[in-house]
């Protein structure tokens, strides 16, 4: 870690002017990345004055950037190539768990490839997405990750934990878009039923109400941090997580994390603690003292490391490091 910190100190010597683009929404990370650049001494500016044009997601790519500032280096970041939105008859998506997607399967990697042709550097948020870009688009990219929220391990007293209407501690937490078919929230509900735990033992945070558990909607980052620190387990059983920010945040807060082993990213970030995507087997893991000890050891071991590696400064520093290689 010390060498990485020294690297960031060196980056502060470069007063780069950066234009940042990305979806401005509470679930996106562009604001955090901007703050990371500022922490490293950079200036967030307009397109015309930028040394770097950084776009965090596909919606922000713009073919007119070259005309607006021909001297700037353009960096396009890829969040993921969603296999659950791709046509399996055209592309081999067999490495991923298949899910029925009522939103349709109209995502074509070749469309993305055409958009990525107009930049100087392609970045992405994990090694699995790097694999996707190489194998489906035939393009090289650099992994920079994505920043988590400013969460931390609080070691709360019981009286400070968030409780349900019966005054009981929540045992489980779910964070995210619960009605997205890729998120497989049904696994959460079915697992609790298998365990015999009531719906009131689960708190749900996010923009979508799954009609199971106690739904809190969107909460502040401070309240979210208390939620993580109030429960014993976070459920995050997505079929494909790309980087899975809530699951990474739960590692930082030392909350035992339930992720499924049929997603290739589980090996990248949660190796050794992922579980099968079957409610029966997830319930068996939760009741298994050996799995619980392994999971507790994992979050204790990696809490500080993940807090650093996925911080806004680390991600902004990774972007600048890749820029300086151009």
Q: Model-level pTM?
A: 0.93
Residue 1 has pLDDT above 50, yes or no: no
Residue 8 has pLDDT above 70, yes or no: no
Lowest mean pLDDT among 3-7, 67-71, 84-88, 145-149: 3-7
The three-state secondary structure class of 222 is helix
Residue 12 has pLDDT above 70, yes or no: no
pLDDT tens digits along 212-261: 999 999 999 999 999 999 999 999 999 999 999 999 999 999 999 999 99
Closest CA to 145 of 317, 15, 12, 303: 317
pLDDT tens digits along 14-36: 689 999 998 766 556 899 999 99
Neighbours of 100 (CB within 10 A): 6
pLDDT tens digits along 83-115: 999 999 999 999 999 999 988 999 999 999 999
CA–CA dist 242, 130 (Å, integer): 10
Burial profile 274-302: b = 16 or more Cβ within 10 angstroms, e = fewer: bbebebebbbbbbeeeebbeebeebbeeb
The three-state secondary structure class of 191 is helix
R_g over Cα of the chain: 20
Neighbours of 259 (CB within 10 A): 22
76 sits in which H/E element: strand 73-78
Residues whose CB falls within 8 Å of the CB of residue 48, separated by 6 or more in sequence, listed in order: 68, 69
Give me the helices (H) in the chain, please: 2-11, 30-39, 65-68, 109-116, 127-132, 185-195, 221-230, 245-252, 265-269, 279-286, 289-309, 312-323
Residues whose CB falls within 8 Å of the CB of residue 191, separated by 6 or more in sequence, listed in order: 235, 279, 282, 283, 286
Average pLDDT score over residue span 199-210: 97
What pLDDT is attached to residue 23?
76
CA–CA dist 281, 321 (Å, integer): 42
Residue 46 has pLDDT above 80, yes or no: yes
């Amino acid at each position: 870690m010390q060498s990485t910190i020294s690297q960031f100190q060196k980056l502060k010597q470069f007063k780069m002017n950066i234009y940042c683009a990305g979806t401005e929404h509470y679930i996106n990370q562009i604001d955090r990345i901007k703050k990371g650049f500022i922490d490293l001494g950079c200036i967030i500016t307009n397109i015309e004055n930028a040394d770097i044009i950084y776009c965090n997601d596909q919606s922000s790519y713009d073919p007119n950037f070259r005309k607006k500032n021909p001297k700037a280096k353009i960096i396009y970041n890829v969040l993921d190539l969603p296999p659950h939105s791709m046509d399996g008859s055209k592309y081999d998506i067999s490495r991923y768990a298949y899910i029925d997607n009522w939103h349709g399967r109209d995502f074509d990697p070749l469309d993305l490839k055409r958009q990525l042709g107009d930049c100087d550097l392609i970045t992405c948020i994990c090694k699995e997405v790097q694999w996707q870009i190489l194998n489906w688009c035939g393009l090289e990219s650099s992994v920079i990750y994505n920043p988590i929220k400013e969460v931390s391990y609080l070691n709360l007293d019981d009286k400070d934990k968030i409780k349900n209407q019966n005054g009981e501690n929540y045992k489980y937490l779910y964070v995210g878009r619960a009605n997205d078919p890729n998120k497989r929230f049904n696994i959460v509900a079915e697992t609790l039923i298998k365990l015999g735990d009531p719906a009131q033992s689960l708190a749900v945070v996010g923009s979508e109400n799954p009609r199971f558990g106690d739904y809190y909607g969107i909460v502040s980052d401070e309240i979210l941090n208390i939620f993580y620190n109030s429960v014993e387990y976070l459920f995050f059983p997505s079929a494909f997580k790309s980087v899975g920010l809530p699951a990474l945040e739960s590692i930082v807060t030392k909350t035992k994390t339930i992720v499924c082993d049929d997603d290739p990213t589980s090996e990248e970030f949660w190796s050794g603690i992922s579980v099968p995507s079957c409610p029966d087997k997830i319930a068996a893991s939760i009741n298994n003292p050996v799995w619980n000890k392994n999971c507790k050891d994992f979050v204790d071991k990696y809490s500080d490391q993940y807090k650093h590696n996925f911080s806004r400064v680390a991600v902004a520093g990774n972007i600048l490091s890749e820029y300086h290689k151009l």
